[in-house]
């Protein structure tokens, strides 16, 4: 399931990868056992981080978030079971700005994330002040060429007829879901960038210039050291956010997740640029893995809102505007 070059993306059997996730029990990590998640936010964070490091094209984040939405909406257990055992796949329909769940009544420009092999996408439907989870068929969706070639996106070509599932979602439930979503996207960024740093360090040890490894040059050492500082700081805030999903109240958990996303988003911009720079010219070639890491992390930066979006939402919460 690991992607080392762009050519690997086409050669990986994505159905087999999906079955592997199901057989390993990863799809069921957020299913409930006695009302509690079978795996904590920290557990799923580690799984997502590893898949991010591998640039895996399997849509684990989308599947975990779909399970969480179904659970929070009190969807029938049989429906959740089809997702957790791998029989059904659901994408997450995101707003045009990618900063949250899409409104099922306005699907123009909506992007479906985690769409690889998905049968349907999940969006929200408003009925007065109430918001319901809606399942939208993806039968006529078209594949999008996204910035990140390791994960497939799709868009609706026409407005499908959706089916409301479960009961109305409370604001607390949606905030709890958003906190999990932000923590998992941060974990994917950390995985991609941490592995990128590891590979850049190995390259600096073996790439010879002027008869010495380029890692012996102080300028290269400073660049990689700064990457390490920012990567580990991003990992620390992500771990706290993932822990808070199940351990803290909704407001505190969402604050931790928005703080983590704000830091990771800003750090990823710098880390991606530095990663490309660390390889020199070879890093700019299509065959090299560096641009795949940068593109995945930068797409994560936009998912569910970049750092500016998060900081504004934090300010709203602090000033009582949300």
Q: What is the 3-state secondary structure (H, E, C) of 78-137?
A: HHHHHHHCCCCCEEEEECCCCCCECECCCCCCCEEECCCCCCEEEEEEEECCEEEEEEEE
Q: What is the pTM of this model?
A: 0.95
The C-alpha atoms of residue 212 and residue 117 are separated, in whole angstroms, by: 48
Per-residue model confidence as pLDDT tens for the chain (322 residues):
899 998 998 899 999 999 999 999 999 999 998 889 999 999 999 999 999 999 999 999 999 999 999 999 999 999 999 999 999 999 999 999 999 999 999 888 899 999 888 989 999 999 998 999 999 998 888 998 888 999 989 998 888 888 999 999 999 999 999 999 999 999 999 999 999 999 999 999 999 999 999 999 999 999 999 999 999 999 999 999 999 999 999 999 999 999 999 999 999 999 999 999 999 989 889 999 999 999 999 999 999 999 999 999 999 999 987 6
Choose among 83, 61, 59: nearest CA to 71.
83
How many angstroms separate the CA atoms of 97 and 109, rounded?
A: 9
Q: Token pair of 165, please?
A: 């599932």
Helix and strand element counts for the chain (H, E): 10, 11
């Amino acid at each position: 399931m690991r992607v080392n070059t762009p050519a690997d993306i086409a050669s990986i059997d994505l159905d087999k990868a999906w079955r592997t996730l199901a057989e390993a029990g990863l799809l069921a990590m957020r299913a409930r056992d006695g009302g509690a998640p079978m795996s904590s936010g920290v557990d799923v964070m580690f799984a997502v981080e590893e898949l991010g490091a591998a640039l895996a094209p399997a849509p684990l984040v989308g599947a975990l978030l779909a399970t969480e939405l179904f659970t929070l909406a009190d969807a029938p257990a049989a429906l959740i079971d089809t997702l957790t055992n791998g029989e059904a796949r659901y994408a997450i329909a995101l707003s045009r700005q990618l900063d949250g769940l899409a409104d099922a009544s306005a699907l123009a420009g909506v992007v479906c994330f985690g769409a690889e092999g998905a049968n349907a996408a999940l969006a929200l439907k408003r009925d007065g002040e109430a918001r319901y989870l809606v399942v939208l068929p993806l039968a006529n969706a078209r594949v999008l060429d996204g910035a990140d070639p390791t994960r497939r996106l799709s868009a609706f070509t026409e407005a499908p007829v959706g089916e409301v599932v479960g009961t109305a979602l409370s604001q607390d439930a949606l905030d709890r879901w958003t906190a999990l979503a932000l923590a998992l996207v941060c974990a994917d960024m950390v995985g991609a960038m941490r592995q990128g740093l590891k590979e850049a360090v190995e390259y600096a040890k073996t790439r010879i210039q002027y008869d010495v490894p380029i890692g012996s040059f102080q300028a290269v050492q400073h660049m990689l050291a700064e990457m390490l500082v920012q990567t580990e700081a991003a990992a620390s805030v992500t771990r706290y956010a993932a822990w808070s999903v199940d351990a803290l109240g909704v407001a505190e958990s969402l604050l931790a997740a928005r703080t983590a996303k704000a830091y990771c988003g800003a750090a990823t911009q710098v880390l991606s640029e530095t990663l490309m720079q660390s390889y020199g010219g070879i890093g700019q070639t299509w065959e090299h893995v560096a641009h795949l890491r940068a593109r995945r992390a930068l797409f994560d930066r936009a998912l569910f809102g970049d750092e500016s979006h998060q900081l504004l939402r934090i300010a709203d919460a602090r000033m009582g505007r949300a």
